[in-house]
Amino acid sequence: MNDLQEFAKLIKDIVTKNKLSESSIVLSESQDFIYSHRDELIQQYPDQWIAVHKKDVVGHRKDLISLVRELRASGAPLQHIALEMLSREEIPLALKSIL
């Protein structure tokens, strides 16, 4: 088996196990809802992380880790959920690595 075939097998195993195709359809709906309602969501949840499943806000917190813990504990379908920081200020970008 050559490298490309091994790569193909690996990708197939992972996306099948995770039902990636199906989850991506729902996740797109969730993410697109955030994009199309960003302004009103920022008014409701300023400077907070929100979790959206399809068209529903299923959680919101100032702290991302707390929000994800809450989602995991509730058994929410994480593969379908979009998270977004509704920041009112510019988010900094990483610039360079320091060894």
Partner 1 sequence: MPSNLSSNETKFQFQGFYQQGYLGGPERPFIRVLVTLHRFRVSKQVDMIIDSGSDVTTLQPKDTLLMLEESQFKQLGRPRRLQGIGGYVESYTEEGAVGFSLPDKRICWVPVVFDITNPKSRSTLPSALGNDVLQFGTTALNAVHRIVKIELWLKNPLITPS
Residue ranges binding partner 1 (CB under 8 A): 4-5, 7-8, 10-18, 20-21, 23-24, 27-28, 31, 35, 38-39, 42, 49, 63-65, 68-69, 78-79, 81, 83-99
Contact predicate 34/82, CB 8 Å:
yes
Query: Based on CB atoms, which residue is closest to partner 1, 28 or 74?
Result: 28
> 13-51 b/e with 16+ CB inside 10 Å = b?
eeeeeeeeeebeebbeebbebbeeeeeebbeebeebbbb
Nearest approach, Cβ of residue 30 and partner 1 (Å): 10
Nearest approach, Cβ of residue 54 and partner 1 (Å): 14
